[in-house]
Amino acid sequence: MDAANCEQACSLVSKSYISQGQQALAKRHRLIKTLLSSRRLPEQGWDEPTIEAFVQDCALMDSNNFLDNVGAGEREGRVACPLVARQHYHLAHGIGRSGDIAAEQPKAAGSSLLAKMTMLLATDALRVAGLQDLGSVTVLPLATGMAMTMTLLAIKAGRPRDARYVIWSRIDQKTCLKAITAAGLEPVVVELQQRGDELCTDVQAIEQGIERLGSDAIAAVVTTTSCFAPRASDDVVAVARLCATSGVPHLINNAYGIQSSSICRDITAAWRKGRVDAFVSSTDKNFMVPVGGALVAEGSKLRGLVAAVNKTYPGRASVSVHLDLLMTLLHWGSQGWQKVLKEREELYPHMKQVLEGVASRHGQRVLHTPGNPISLAMTLDQGALEQLQDYTFIGSMLWARCVSGTRVVPKAKQQTVAGIPFTGYGSHTSAYPHVYMTAAAALGGSTSEADVFGARVDKCLLEVVAKAGGTVNGGNKQECMNS
Amino acid sequence: MDAANCEQACSLVSKSYISQGQQALAKRHRLIKTLLSSRRLPEQGWDEPTIEAFVQDCALMDSNNFLDNVGAGEREGRVACPLVARQHYHLAHGIGRSGDIAAEQPKAAGSSLLAKMTMLLATDALRVAGLQDLGSVTVLPLATGMAMTMTLLAIKAGRPRDARYVIWSRIDQKTCLKAITAAGLEPVVVELQQRGDELCTDVQAIEQGIERLGSDAIAAVVTTTSCFAPRASDDVVAVARLCATSGVPHLINNAYGIQSSSICRDITAAWRKGRVDAFVSSTDKNFMVPVGGALVAEGSKLRGLVAAVNKTYPGRASVSVHLDLLMTLLHWGSQGWQKVLKEREELYPHMKQVLEGVASRHGQRVLHTPGNPISLAMTLDQGALEQLQDYTFIGSMLWARCVSGTRVVPKAKQQTVAGIPFTGYGSHTSAYPHVYMTAAAALGGSTSEADVFGARVDKCLLEVVAKAGGTVNGGNKQECMNS
Amino acid sequence: MDAANCEQACSLVSKSYISQGQQALAKRHRLIKTLLSSRRLPEQGWDEPTIEAFVQDCALMDSNNFLDNVGAGEREGRVACPLVARQHYHLAHGIGRSGDIAAEQPKAAGSSLLAKMTMLLATDALRVAGLQDLGSVTVLPLATGMAMTMTLLAIKAGRPRDARYVIWSRIDQKTCLKAITAAGLEPVVVELQQRGDELCTDVQAIEQGIERLGSDAIAAVVTTTSCFAPRASDDVVAVARLCATSGVPHLINNAYGIQSSSICRDITAAWRKGRVDAFVSSTDKNFMVPVGGALVAEGSKLRGLVAAVNKTYPGRASVSVHLDLLMTLLHWGSQGWQKVLKEREELYPHMKQVLEGVASRHGQRVLHTPGNPISLAMTLDQGALEQLQDYTFIGSMLWARCVSGTRVVPKAKQQTVAGIPFTGYGSHTSAYPHVYMTAAAALGGSTSEADVFGARVDKCLLEVVAKAGGTVNGGNKQECMNS
Amino acid sequence: MDAANCEQACSLVSKSYISQGQQALAKRHRLIKTLLSSRRLPEQGWDEPTIEAFVQDCALMDSNNFLDNVGAGEREGRVACPLVARQHYHLAHGIGRSGDIAAEQPKAAGSSLLAKMTMLLATDALRVAGLQDLGSVTVLPLATGMAMTMTLLAIKAGRPRDARYVIWSRIDQKTCLKAITAAGLEPVVVELQQRGDELCTDVQAIEQGIERLGSDAIAAVVTTTSCFAPRASDDVVAVARLCATSGVPHLINNAYGIQSSSICRDITAAWRKGRVDAFVSSTDKNFMVPVGGALVAEGSKLRGLVAAVNKTYPGRASVSVHLDLLMTLLHWGSQGWQKVLKEREELYPHMKQVLEGVASRHGQRVLHTPGNPISLAMTLDQGALEQLQDYTFIGSMLWARCVSGTRVVPKAKQQTVAGIPFTGYGSHTSAYPHVYMTAAAALGGSTSEADVFGARVDKCLLEVVAKAGGTVNGGNKQECMNS
pLDDT in tens, C178-207: 999 999 999 999 999 999 999 999 999 999
- According to DSSP, residue C475 is labeled T
Query: Could you tell me if C401 and C456 are in contact, meaning their C-beta atoms sit under 8 angstroms apart?
Result: yes
Q: Is the pLDDT of residue D182 over 80?
A: yes
Q: Which one of C32, C49, C104 has the shortest CB-CB distance to A60?
A: C49
Interface list for A 250-309 with B (CB within 8 A): 255-256, 282, 284-285, 287-293
The whole-angstrom separation of Cα A72 and Cα C96 is 50
B104 contacts D60? CB cut-off 8 A: no
Q: Is B455 on the interface with A (CB under 8 A)?
A: no
Q: Is the pLDDT of residue D478 over 90?
A: no
Q: Is the pLDDT of residue A447 over 60?
A: yes
Query: Could you tell me if A293 and A320 are in contact, meaning their C-beta atoms sit under 8 angstroms apart?
Result: no
Query: Could you tell me if A165 and A186 are in contact, meaning their C-beta atoms sit under 8 angstroms apart?
Result: yes
Q: Mean pLDDT check: name the lowest of A239-243, B430-434, C471-475, D275-279.
A: C471-475
The whole-angstrom separation of Cα C240 and Cα B357 is 61
What's the whole-number average pLDDT of chain A? 94
pLDDT band at D477 (very low <50, low <70, confident <90, very high): very low
pLDDT band at D148 (very low <50, low <70, confident <90, very high): very high
Q: Which one of D16, D20, D82 has the shortest CB-CB distance to A82?
A: D82
At B66 the pLDDT is: 95
A68 contacts B402? CB cut-off 8 A: yes
Q: Is B111 on the interface with D (CB under 8 A)?
A: no
Q: Is A263 exposed, middle or buried (0-12, 13-18, 19+ CB in 10 A)?
A: buried
Nearest CA in chain A to B323: A84
At C392 the pLDDT is: 84
At A389 the pLDDT is: 84
At A387 the pLDDT is: 84
Residue C206 gets the label, from left (phi > 0), alpha (psi -120 to 50) or beta, of: alpha
pLDDT of D197-248, one tens digit each?
999 999 999 999 999 999 999 999 999 999 999 999 999 999 999 999 999 9
Residue C95, SS3 per DSSP: strand
At B465 the pLDDT is: 87
pLDDT of A180-206, one tens digit each?
999 999 999 999 999 999 999 999 999
At A51 the pLDDT is: 98
Q: Is the pLDDT of residue C471 over 60?
A: no
Q: At what angle do helices A320-361 and A109-129 cross, to 10 degrees?
A: 30
The whole-angstrom separation of Cα A406 and Cα A395 is 7
What's the whole-number average pLDDT of chain B? 94
Name the residue type at position D33: K
At A267 the pLDDT is: 98
pLDDT band at D410 (very low <50, low <70, confident <90, very high): very high
Neighbours of D164 (CB within 10 A): 18
Query: Could you tell me if C188 and C178 are in contact, meaning their C-beta atoms sit under 8 angstroms apart?
Result: no
Give C199→chain D minimum CA distance, Å: 19
Contacts of D16 in chain A (CB under 8 A): 475
At D472 the pLDDT is: 41
Kindly report the length of chain B.
Answer: 483
What's the whole-number average pLDDT of chain D? 94
C113 contacts A27? CB cut-off 8 A: no
Give B27→chain A minimum CA distance, Å: 22
pLDDT of C131-147, one tens digit each?
999 999 999 999 999 99
For the CA atoms of chain B, what is the radius of gyration? 25
A477 contacts D20? CB cut-off 8 A: yes
At C469 the pLDDT is: 60
At A412 the pLDDT is: 81
What's the whole-number average pLDDT of chain C? 94
Query: Could you tell me if D46 and D55 are in contact, meaning their C-beta atoms sit under 8 angstroms apart?
Result: no
pLDDT band at C465 (very low <50, low <70, confident <90, very high): confident
Query: Could you tell me if C138 and C150 are in contact, meaning their C-beta atoms sit under 8 angstroms apart?
Result: no
At A329 the pLDDT is: 98
Query: Could you tell me if D410 and D435 are in contact, meaning their C-beta atoms sit under 8 angstroms apart?
Result: yes
Distances (CA, A) of C283 to A216, A342, A388, C328, C445: 78, 54, 73, 11, 16
Start-to-end Cα distance in chain A: 53
The whole-angstrom separation of Cα C187 and Cα C220 is 10
The whole-angstrom separation of Cα D178 and Cα A466 is 73
Chains in contact with C, counting 3 or more C-beta pairs less than 8 Å apart as contact: A, B, D
Q: Is the pLDDT of residue A315 over 60?
A: yes
Nearest CA in chain B to D20: B61
Contacts of A405 in chain B (CB under 8 A): 71-76
Contacts of A47 in chain B (CB under 8 A): none
Give D399→chain A minimum CA distance, Å: 10
Query: ∠ CA C399-C175-C150 to the nearest 5 degrees?
Result: 145
At D469 the pLDDT is: 59
Instruction: Tell me what the mean pLDDT of segment B183-195 comes to.
Output: 97
Report residue B224: phi and psi, to 5°: -130, 135
The whole-angstrom separation of Cα A193 and Cα B452 is 71
Q: Is the pLDDT of residue B98 over 80?
A: no
At A469 the pLDDT is: 60
Report residue A161: phi and psi, to 5°: -55, -35
Give D370→chain A minimum CA distance, Å: 36
The whole-angstrom separation of Cα C87 and Cα D326 is 14
* Sequence-separated (6 or more) residues with CB below 8 Å from residue A253: A144, A148, A171, A176, A179, A222, A223, A224, A225, A279, A280
pLDDT band at A467 (very low <50, low <70, confident <90, very high): confident
